[in-house]
Amino acid sequence: MAGYLLIASRDAFESRAVPDYFALAADLAAEGAAVTVFLVENGVLGARRSAAGKALEALTGSGVEVLADDFSLRERGIAIDALAGGVAPASIDIVLDHLAAGRKALWH
Amino acid sequence: MADKKTLTFALMDAPYENARTTTALRLIDAAVRRGYNVNVFAYEGAVAVASPTQKPHPNTVHGRDVAEENHPNPKDWVAAVIAEAERRGAKVDWVQCGLCVDERGVTELLPGTRRGTPGDFWTFAEQSDNTLVIPTR
Amino acid sequence: MAKVLNIVTSAYRGTLEEQDDTIIWLTHAMRGAGAEIDVLLQGSAVNYLVRGQDASGLRFGAWEQTQPPRVDDDLAKLVQKGAKLYAVREDLAERGIAEAPLMDGYEAIGRRDLARLLNGYERVWQW
């Protein structure tokens, strides 16, 4: 299975569709796919330890890798030690790694 | 390069509207720095990203003249990634959706970009290792 | 080439100016170029299935739109061309349109079944 890269650019506090997107990530993982969620732009606003961060912690618990774009974090003054459990900072190069490896890539 | 990849990106947003334009160019820049070939299908408002008539401006609020302000024009980012690709033996094939440029009056082409059709996007997708659509809302 | 699923989420975005939905239009154009592409409607785009959409009558001064968008017809033509058309069942229900008169030819799919649907495609493009 090729695996999935789900790029999440929307603010979890603004968009009702974000929980559905994360549920899709968990469902894909449950089907046996390697799944990475890459938070970028305002998508990282939900990466702090917070109500939205709890959802990300649950997501990592379901076998989904959750990464946050280091530039987007820095741009918004989000310190690495403020991130929700299981969320790791990453360079945007990780997107290229997964695209080059043929993962199915969605942007939301 | 033994492992030269080709990636296709579909862009939809007009410049200066949201973060997706800069993120898209960050991705394209990172790809060409790896020596990847990059195809871009600029659809809808994204055709203005490479519009060669963009001009920088001074900013009185910032207290800077036009040179000091060094205001970003995305067309310069596009030109820069095209040049970077050439330096690395790769290619950026940037296609402007023809109907989109006509209806918006953004018909002038930046050097290194060309006019095209959805058929080009499909050809890109067929010939690429992967395709990422960056949607608008 | 790969089988592609186009996911359409945003609805009525520039449709009056374009006289169509640009992603449904693009899907037609790419199928014309040989692509095997199906469509999944989710979010507000599930409203495209509703019968009776009427965007006619737009006027600005003496200017009158004579060819308003008919997105439901464009979707029906995609189905006639062999494309599969899916819509997220919960998105229909949440919007209160699950019981409305809807066009023929679509298949409702539950959110929890989306993962399996996506697994059936080599490429998934979310627009």
ipTM of the complex: 0.96
Residue C50, Cβ density class (10 Å: 0-12 exposed, 13-18 middle, ≥19 buried): middle
- Return the percentage of chain B with pLDDT > 70, whole number: 99
**B1 at the A interface (CB within 8 A)?**
no
pLDDT one-digit tens code per residue, B105-136: 999 999 999 999 999 999 999 999 999 999 99
- Chain C residues touching residue A17 (CB < 8 angstroms): 9, 43
Q: How many CA atoms lie within 13 A of A29 on its CB side?
A: 20
Average pLDDT rounded to a whole number, residues C102-127: 97
3-state SS, residue C13: coil
- The total number of structural domains in chain B stands at 1
Of the pLDDT bands very low, low, confident and very high (cuts 50, 70, 90), residue C98 is confident
- The total number of structural domains in chain C stands at 1
Q: Answer for the pair A38, A67: CB distance below 8 angstroms, yes or no.
A: yes
**C71 at the A interface (CB within 8 A)?**
no
Q: What is the DSSP letter of B64?
A: B
Given a cut of 60, whether residue B1 has pLDDT beyond it is no
Strand positions, DSSP E, B31-119: 37-42, 92-97, 113-116
Residue A95: predicted pLDDT: 98
Q: CA A73 to CA A71: how far, in whole Å?
A: 5
Q: Answer for the pair A86, A66: CB distance below 8 angstroms, yes or no.
A: yes
Q: Pick the residue from chain A with its C-alpha nearest to C120.
A: A1
- The total number of structural domains in chain A stands at 1
Domain that holds residue C113: 4-126
**Residue that the structure tokens 């207290």 belong to:** B63
Cβ contacts of C46 within 8 Å, gap of 6 or more? C11, C87, C88, C91, C92, C95, C97
On average, the pLDDT of chain C sits at 97
Count of CB atoms situated within 10 Å of the CB of A63: 15
Average pLDDT rounded to a whole number, residues C9-15: 97
Q: CA B35 to CA B29: how far, in whole Å?
A: 10
Whether A106 is in a domain gets the answer no
**Residue that the structure tokens 């507000």 belong to:** C44
**B41 at the A interface (CB within 8 A)?**
no
Residue B99: predicted pLDDT: 98
Q: CA B65 to CA B128: how far, in whole Å?
A: 43
Cα B26 to chain centroid, rounded? 10
Residue C29: predicted pLDDT: 97
CATH number, domain containing residue B130: 3.40.1260.10
- Return the percentage of chain B with pLDDT > 90, whole number: 97
Of the pLDDT bands very low, low, confident and very high (cuts 50, 70, 90), residue C1 is low
Question: How far does the CA of residue C126 sit from the closest CA of chain A (Å)?
Answer: 6
Q: CA B112 to CA B25: how far, in whole Å?
A: 16
**B34 at the A interface (CB within 8 A)?**
yes
Given a cut of 90, whether residue A41 has pLDDT beyond it is yes
Whether A58 is in a domain gets the answer yes
Q: CA B11 to CA B29: how far, in whole Å?
A: 14
Q: Pick the residue from chain C with its C-alpha nearest to B136.
A: C127
Would the CB atoms of B30 and A96 count as touching at under 8 Å?
yes
CATH number, domain containing residue A43: 3.40.1260.10
Would the CB atoms of B19 and A95 count as touching at under 8 Å?
no
Closest CA to B24 of A16, A69, C26: A69
Domain that holds residue A37: 4-101
pLDDT one-digit tens code per residue, A13-29: 999 999 999 999 999 99
Q: Which of A17, A31, A108 sits opposite C115 (nearest CB)?
A: A31
Which of the residues A1, A18, A21, A27 would you substitute to probe the C interface, choosing the one with the greatest number of C C-beta atoms within 10 Å? Answer: A27
Cα A56 to chain centroid, rounded? 8
What value, to the nearest 5°, has the Cα angle with vertex B24 and ends B87 and C42? 150
Average pLDDT rounded to a whole number, residues C71-77: 98
Q: How many CA atoms lie within 13 A of C105 on its CB side?
A: 21
Question: How far does the CA of residue B132 sit from the closest CA of chain A (Å)?
Answer: 6
Residue A49, Cβ density class (10 Å: 0-12 exposed, 13-18 middle, ≥19 buried): middle
Would the CB atoms of A108 and C121 count as touching at under 8 Å?
no
Would the CB atoms of C29 and B135 count as touching at under 8 Å?
no
Whether A108 is in a domain gets the answer no
Concatenating the DSSP letter of every residue in A53-88 gives HHHHHHHHHTT-EEEEEHHHHHHTT--GGGBPTTEE
**A51 at the C interface (CB within 8 A)?**
no
3-state SS, residue B61: coil
Question: How far does the CA of residue A56 sit from the closest CA of chain C (Å)?
Answer: 18
Cβ contacts of C1 within 8 Å, gap of 6 or more? B125, B126, C34, C35, C36
Cβ contacts of B60 within 8 Å, gap of 6 or more? none
Q: Answer for the pair C35, C28: CB distance below 8 angstroms, yes or no.
A: no
Domain that holds residue B28: 6-134
Average pLDDT rounded to a whole number, residues C87-102: 94
**A33 at the C interface (CB within 8 A)?**
yes
Whether B1 is in a domain gets the answer no
CATH number, domain containing residue C24: 3.40.1260.10
Would the CB atoms of B130 and A93 count as touching at under 8 Å?
no
Q: What is the DSSP letter of B44?
A: G
Q: Answer for the pair C58, C12: CB distance below 8 angstroms, yes or no.
A: no
Given a cut of 70, whether residue B2 has pLDDT beyond it is no
Residue C42: predicted pLDDT: 98
Would the CB atoms of C29 and B10 count as touching at under 8 Å?
no
Cα A54 to chain centroid, rounded? 13
Average pLDDT rounded to a whole number, residues C75-80: 98
Residue C99: predicted pLDDT: 85
